[in-house]
Amino acid sequence: MIIDYLAGSAVSDMDADLCIIGAGAAGIAIARHFIGTPITVCLIEGGGATGEEQSQALYEGMSIGTLPFDAGTSRMRVFGGSCNLWGGGCIPLGSRDLVERDWVPHSGWPIAYDDLTPYYERAREYCQIEAHHLTDGSFSTPVAHAPISFDADKLVNPVFARSPILFGKAYRTQLEKAANVTVLLHANLLELHASASGTSVRHAHIGAINGRKGVVRAQHYVLACGGIENARMLLLSQSVLPHGLGNEHDLVGRYFMDHPCGSIGTVITDMPERVTRPYDRNLGKGPSAAFPEIGLSHAFQEARGILNGRVHPFAVEGSVPQGIRSLRDFRAALRPSVQDENALLEARLCAALKNAPSSDDDINERSTNLAMLALRVGLGSADIVKALLHKLQKKSTVRSNRVELIGYFEQAPNPDSRITLARERDVLGLPKVCVDWRLTALDRHTYRTAAALFGTELARACGGTYQPAAWLNDDDNTTAKVHTTAHHLGTTRMSDDPQRGVVDTRCRVHGVDNLHIAGSSVFPTGGWAFPTFTVVALALRLADQLRALMRNSAMSEAV
């Protein structure tokens, strides 16, 4: 059953066995695990069924770090979560990503790769990529075009699979029909109210933008609000413990990480397709295709004392012939214009994540003079024929001699990179989030070292020359022209030691018996891998543990 909490007919208070806050990839996976069981589930989502600007505004915040960060555009408040914007990339972390590395402070997971493997296997079904078989840190699926053969001690070609689904759309009907699951839309968590001792959660206080308020009472609670919001919600739950739930050692919100990315330079070559075509994500076949990426070998990381990372080569077009430009304009004019609020919001957020300026006018702008555009296409037919011949020869349709290299990197765990509460409040009366995103010397050392290797090896593969980005050669050791990829990690990190982490190996908050956390906020380190596949695997693992815990509790009560 799905209920809109904004509706006047909706009950204010609810009781359930399990309360899950956040209907993204993790929250939906856990709720779905309980369908058809005797356990009643309440799944709370602050957004609506589709994107809305008034709900999205609740994600706005402040940025005070050395790197700019927009909390309002790097995630989406909607049923299905920020994965409504994702590209579907699924890949497991590698076993070496989880172990302690002596050159990476605060590294190492308290669980091993083998602990995650069975849940990675099950995550394939949830992400609908069952055709792809796991290997350590990759999939073994054949790819459309053979990747470049590198020195394996330097660079590797891990393979990721593309999920064909959006979780909210794929599983909405299942949740709506489930007799034991209630989904509340537009129900925002205001606070988790703790017992007098602070060792358990008594109820979740929820509210809607229209002023409606109530509580959800449950035996167990799961925070699944994302890498930023999980920490914010713990910090906001301060009516009993002034420093917030699970924050006895001032760790909630610390170790905030992302996968910083940016241009690391260009390769000048007469044969750009040699390095771009094998990694072109537009060339995959089928609804769930697989693609290689170019990553750093673990041997090279250890030898140079750097973090993990990958690079993606993009061909940069030269001058576009008039005929090709006219054909593109004509195709754009035939596309339906974007009108509804959800589509406009998604377009705005996607543009922000790509660091591209955007406005509603840009999104809707299209030429209505199709006859004039068609005439221009006809006049440019020679350019179009030439481009078609290039395509048949597996070359770029527009001549290019420049390949831009975009690097994506693991970030070092850093306790000074953190999420806190701002003084400014949102329309619900809650303090907004404050993001202090910081890099370390190890991050900057990684960028310079990895960029040199990526650039040199890719230039060698196509007979070109590598020109590093100017910022990599800057004498100012604090300079790093990188930005977010919206992979928010680490703010409630996992550790068996309460003085080093917020949750234990079962993802239960230290010191709070009935509160668990799902999502990338529990990652102690992040590798370079897209985090969603690991988020799902951990969520399924947590769902198993909760199910066993609640079954044992029910048996004890019966006895």
pLDDT tens sequence across 428-448: 999 999 999 999 999 999 999
150 has pLDDT over 80 = yes
Q: Rounded CA gap, 113 and 120, in Å?
A: 10
Please indicate, yes or no, whether residues 253 and 329 belong to a single structural domain of this protein.
Answer: no
Q: What is the CATH number of the domain that holds 541?
A: 3.50.50.60
Mean pLDDT of 531-540: 98
Please indicate, yes or no, whether residues 215 and 73 belong to a single structural domain of this protein.
Answer: yes
* Lookup: tokens for 238: 């301060």
Q: Rounded CA gap, 157 and 332, in Å?
A: 35
Q: Rounded CA gap, 520 and 26, in Å?
A: 9
Please indicate, yes or no, whether residues 169 and 246 belong to a single structural domain of this protein.
Answer: yes
In-domain check, residue 514:
yes
Task: Report whether 103 contacts 127 (CB < 8 A).
Answer: no
Percent of the residues in the chain that have a pLDDT greater than 90, as a whole number: 78
Q: In one letter, which amino acid is 283?
A: L
In-domain check, residue 399:
no
| CA dist 439 → 100, 436, 480 (Å) | 20, 10, 9
Please indicate, yes or no, whether residues 172 and 78 belong to a single structural domain of this protein.
Answer: yes
Of the residues 390, 417, 442, the one at which a domain ends:
390
7 has pLDDT over 80 = yes
Task: Report whether 222 contacts 20 (CB < 8 A).
Answer: yes
262 has pLDDT over 80 = yes
Q: In one letter, which amino acid is 39?
A: I
In-domain check, residue 550:
yes
Please indicate, yes or no, whether residues 226 and 84 belong to a single structural domain of this protein.
Answer: yes
Lowest mean pLDDT among 152-161, 269-278, 386-395, 547-556: 386-395
- Segment holding 167, helix H or strand E: helix 167-177
In-domain check, residue 446:
no
pLDDT at position 367: 40
pLDDT at position 554: 59
Q: Rounded CA gap, 373 and 371, in Å?
A: 5
Q: The pTM is what? A: 0.89
In-domain check, residue 379:
yes
Task: Report whether 515 contacts 509 (CB < 8 A).
Answer: yes
Mean pLDDT of 375-395: 54
201 has pLDDT over 80 = yes
Please indicate, yes or no, whether residues 64 and 167 belong to a single structural domain of this protein.
Answer: yes
Query: Which among 481, 486, 482 is positioned nearest to 471, based on CA atoms?
Result: 481
pLDDT digits (tens, 9 = 90+) for 220-236: 999 999 999 999 999 99
Confidence band of 362 (pLDDT split at 50, 70, 90): very low
Percent of the residues in the chain that have a pLDDT greater than 70, as a whole number: 85
Of the residues 339, 371, 390, the one at which a domain ends:
390
356 has pLDDT over 80 = no
pLDDT at position 393: 54
pLDDT at position 552: 72
In-domain check, residue 468:
no
Q: In one letter, which amino acid is 296?
A: L
Of the residues 343, 359, 390, the one at which a domain ends:
390
Residue 160's SS3 state is strand
Please indicate, yes or no, whether residues 223 and 327 belong to a single structural domain of this protein.
Answer: no
Mean pLDDT of 503-531: 98
Q: Rounded CA gap, 490 and 411, in Å?
A: 10
Lowest mean pLDDT among 184-193, 210-219, 314-323: 314-323
Mean pLDDT of 75-94: 95
Please indicate, yes or no, whether residues 43 and 169 belong to a single structural domain of this protein.
Answer: yes
557 has pLDDT over 80 = no
Task: Report whether 489 contacts 258 (CB < 8 A).
Answer: yes
Please indicate, yes or no, whether residues 253 and 176 belong to a single structural domain of this protein.
Answer: yes
Please indicate, yes or no, whether residues 51 and 179 belong to a single structural domain of this protein.
Answer: yes
pLDDT digits (tens, 9 = 90+) for 278-328: 999 887 666 679 999 999 999 999 999 999 999 999 988 655 555 545 555
Confidence band of 20 (pLDDT split at 50, 70, 90): very high
Domain, as residue range, for 540: 2-89+163-257+488-558
Please indicate, yes or no, whether residues 340 and 214 belong to a single structural domain of this protein.
Answer: no
Q: What's the whole-number average pLDDT of the chain?
A: 89
Lowest mean pLDDT among 210-219, 302-311, 339-348, 450-459: 339-348
pLDDT at position 268: 96
Longest Cα separation, the chain: 85
In-domain check, residue 51:
yes
More confident residue, 550 or 223: 223
In-domain check, residue 202:
yes
Split into its structural domains, the chain has a count of 2
Angle at 408 between CA 403 and CA 410, to 5 degrees: 155
Please indicate, yes or no, whether residues 71 and 184 belong to a single structural domain of this protein.
Answer: yes
